[in-house]
Amino acid sequence: MYDKLVIGGREINSRLLVGTGKFPSNSIIPDVIMGSGAQIVTVALRRIDFDSEDENMLNYIPQNCILLPNTSGARNAEEAVRIARLARASGCGNLIKIEVISDNKYLLPDNQETIKATDILSKEGFVVLPYMSPDLMAAKRLVDAGAAAVMPLGAPIGTNKGLKTREMIKILINEIELPIIVDAGLGKPSEACEAMELGAAAVLVNTAIATAKDPVAMAEAFALAVKAGRKAFLSGTGAVKEYAEASSPLTGFLA
């Protein structure tokens, strides 16, 4: 079965994207990435120490990975745009994940500013992956603004609460042509699996892996769950029914 994820015209061979924050040490990151099988790896530009051999996160990301710098710390569209440009100028490539957060309590994204930044950056030739609160109209505007995928949150970032926005995400999957990548909030492999079963194109996981007792094993577990969920989606899961359906129906005599 041919089943490739395509983002910005590029074929991606893994539907699990991973983050690099919150780990007890950068040195564990190569093993985590290997365990996860992820091809796309996101890094906050604010954390990259280009001048340090030991502390430069980029030195821990395998060469065959695609770097997805993110604009963590941006409080509005203008700051996100500046961070994105800095990332490109520093040699981090064309791909950018936009995070615009002006709420330090819940860390919820600002959709309006995200749309503005997406519009500006896609015109500048960036392949833009915006992180957003799942809202259909905002997602449509992101499509119009030139996004390459849409990344709705499953739950507030870092909460490990799972797919709390399930109904909204289902709507996005049904209505938006671009890949829907569920980002943030997924705390367990079963929740990543659930997102994939729904038809999400991919998921991005960071906290649940980084803060696990064994991050490498947890990365592997997420990889398996994502594969299982995708396969289930492609196989066509049976409809959920309210009443049991006997194989010898009571009204069979009517046929």
Of residues 8, 10, 14, 46, which one binds other proteins by CB under 8 A?
A: 46
Token representation of residue 45: 């530009």
Amino acid at 152: P
Q: Which stretch in 33-41, 96-104, 126-134, 189-197 sits in contact with other proteins by CB under 8 A?
A: 96-104
Question: Which is closer to other proteins, CB of 75 or CB of 227?
Answer: 75
Asked if 113 and 144 count as a contact pair (C-beta separation under 8 A), the reply is no
- Residue 170's contacts (CB-CB under 8 Å, 6 or more residues apart) are 198, 199
Shortest reach from residue 200's CB to other proteins, in Å:
23
Tokens 């409080």 found at: 75
89 touching other proteins, by CB under 8 A: no
Of residues 1, 2, 3, 24, which one binds other proteins by CB under 8 A?
A: 24
Helix spans in 153-246 (H): 166-175, 189-198, 207-210, 215-235
Shortest reach from residue 131's CB to other proteins, in Å:
17
- Of 141-180, binders to other proteins (CB under 8 A) are 158-160
Shortest reach from residue 217's CB to other proteins, in Å:
16
Active site residues: 97
Give the C-alpha separation, 19 to 141, whole Å. 26
Q: At what angle do helices 166-175 and 136-144 cross, to 10 degrees?
A: 40
CB burial readout 59-72, b (16+ within 10 A) else e = ebbeeeebbbbbbb
47 touching other proteins, by CB under 8 A: yes
Of residues 8, 10, 14, 21, which one binds other proteins by CB under 8 A?
A: 21
54 touching other proteins, by CB under 8 A: yes
61 touching other proteins, by CB under 8 A: no
188 touching other proteins, by CB under 8 A: no
φ/ψ bin of 45: left (φ > 0), alpha (ψ from -120 to 50), beta (otherwise) = alpha
Classify residue 163 as exposed, middle or buried by CB count within 10 Å of its CB (0-12, 13-18, 19+): buried
Q: Which stretch in 91-99, 101-109, 165-173, 176-184 sits in contact with other proteins by CB under 8 A?
A: 101-109
Q: Which stretch in 44-52, 117-125, 133-141, 145-153 sits in contact with other proteins by CB under 8 A?
A: 44-52
- Residue 253's contacts (CB-CB under 8 Å, 6 or more residues apart) are none
58 touching other proteins, by CB under 8 A: no
DSSP state letter for 203: E
Point out which residues bind other proteins (CB under 8 A): 21-26, 45-49, 52, 54-55, 73, 75, 79, 82-83, 86, 102-105, 107, 158-160, 207, 210-211
